[in-house]
Amino acid sequence: MIKIPIIGVIINTQKEKARELAEELLEYLDSKSIPYLLESGSARVISKVSRSAEITELQEKVDFIILFGGDGTLLHTASHFCGTGIPLLGINVGSLGFMTVIEKDCFKEAVDNLLADKYEVENRMMLTAEVYRSGKQVYKSYGLNDVVISRGANFKLIGIELYINGEFISNYEGDGLLVATPTGSTAYSLSAGGPIVHPRLKVILITPICPHNLFMRPMVIGDEDEVSVNLKIPGKKMHLSTDGRSILELQNGDQIKMRKSSQEVSLVRFPGRDFYQILREKMKVDML
């Protein structure tokens, strides 16, 4: 007996186009008698409360998650489904959408391929960030893209003492430090001067943010390495963020440890949509 998959649907309800496309998808699934559940907030907005489910129920019952939004929506969703093995399929209604690689005009074809088992699952590494204060852990978070130490709107620079696997690397002052996964190499890390890295590589990227040190440059290290940072903070409201969220205000003397997480995020990938093709389309990079 062929098992019919249960689809979980998550919508960025702040985007009108996302709501419209999601309603179109639900009509399409109904026409094919495909069962689905809607994240509770999304269900309320589009008046489908009979199909409503909390995140914990989605984690237990669905076989796939289809989400409508941009990369920010996918990052938020990934924080709930990392380690579950449930593949995420992102339909892009944003401006760039490097991870939500299916464009809004092609989503029905993508869903058909998903239901016909014509897809692959790509597991992406995540980072763990831990903050220690006076020798005690006070904070822990996970990121698919990056961990960012930032001075924010303060005019004073952060003093950063950088170690890898306990080995001292450098002291510098600057706007901060960014530690990224290969997935995050095309996000903030790229804007800060970091390299583009294929998402299947087993590496971690370290990118200083505006360092006042001519010799402090981006680094690519192994995925088993641990990055440790001691901070000298002259001002207030300097912070750590993970994937642009989970913001923690940092204090002078804080130590931050960053390494590969034991959790991974599963993304749906279709044959014929490889990294370099997406790179050309999204980043307008001429690979010839």
Question: pLDDT tens, 118-143?
Answer: 999 999 999 999 999 999 999 999 99
pLDDT of residue 163: 98
DSSP notation for 225-264? --EEEEEE--SSS-EEEETTEEEEE--TT-EEEEEEEEEE
User: Does 75 lie in the same domain as 115?
Assistant: yes
C-alpha closest to that of 21 among 96, 118, 110: 110
The pLDDT of residue 6? 93
Q: Is the pLDDT of residue 157 over 50?
A: yes
User: Which amino acids are annotated catalytic?
Assistant: 71
Say which residue, 92 or 274, is predicted with more confidence. Answer: 92
**Domain presence at residue 54:** yes
pLDDT for residue 97: 65
Mean pLDDT for all residues in the chain: 90
Same domain? For 33 and 112 the reply is yes
Q: How far is CA 101 from each of CA 6, 78, 278, rounded to the nearest angstrom?
A: 22, 15, 7
Residue 26 lies in a domain: yes
Same domain, 11 and 61: yes
Whether 28 is covered by a domain: the verdict is yes
Based on the domain organization, do 134 and 100 belong to the same domain?
Answer: no
Asked if 201 and 106 sit in the same domain, the reply is no
Residues 134 and 67 in one domain: no
Predicted TM-score (pTM) of this structure: 0.89
pLDDT digits (tens, 9 = 90+) for 192-212: 999 999 999 999 999 999 999
**Structure token pair of residue 141:** 């978070």
- Tell me: pLDDT of 58 over 80: yes
Q: What's the count of helices (H) and strands (E) in the chain, helices before strands?
A: 7, 18
Q: Are residues 164 and 225 in the same domain?
A: yes
**The pLDDT value given to residue 284:** 64
Q: Residue 149 in contact with residue 177, Cβ under 8 Å?
A: yes
- By the 8 A CB rule, do 227 and 204 touch? yes
Closest by CA position to 111, among listed 25, 238, 213: 25
Mean pLDDT of 242-265: 93
CATH number of the domain bearing residue 198: 2.60.200.30
Whether 222 maps to a domain, the answer reads yes
CA 4 – CA 18 distance, rounded (Å): 25
Do 167 and 115 lie in one domain? The reply is no
pLDDT tops 70 at residue 94: no
Strand partners, 258: 129, 227
Segments forming the whole domain that contains residue 97: 7-119+270-283
Name the one residue in this structure whose structure tokens are 């997935």. 183
Do 165 and 225 have their domain in common? Answer: yes
Provide the pLDDT for residue 92.
86
Check if the beta carbon of residue 244 is closer than 8 Å to that of residue 151: no
Query: Are 234 and 142 in the same domain?
Result: yes
Is the per-residue pLDDT at 47 higher than 80? yes
What is the tens place of the pLDDT at every residue in 100-118? 777 777 888 888 888 888 9
Mean pLDDT of 38-47: 92
Asked if residue 72 has pLDDT above 80, the reply is yes
Q: How far apart are CA 116 and CA 114, in angstroms?
A: 5
Q: Are 177 and 228 members of one domain?
A: yes
Which pLDDT does position 239 carry in this prediction? 92
- Label residue 1 by pLDDT band (50, 70, 90): very low
CATH number of the domain within which 83 lies: 3.40.50.10330
Q: What percent of the chain has pLDDT over 90?
A: 67
Which pLDDT score is estimated for 288?
47
- Residue indicated by tokens 């509770």: 40
Asked if the structure places residue 2 within a domain, the reply is no
Flag whether 99 is in a domain. yes
Cβ atoms of residues 86 and 8 within 8 Å: yes
Domain tally for the chain?
2
The winner for highest mean pLDDT among 69-83, 141-155, 166-180 is 166-180
Q: What is the pLDDT of residue 182?
A: 96
The helix (H) or strand (E) run that includes residue 159 is: strand 158-164
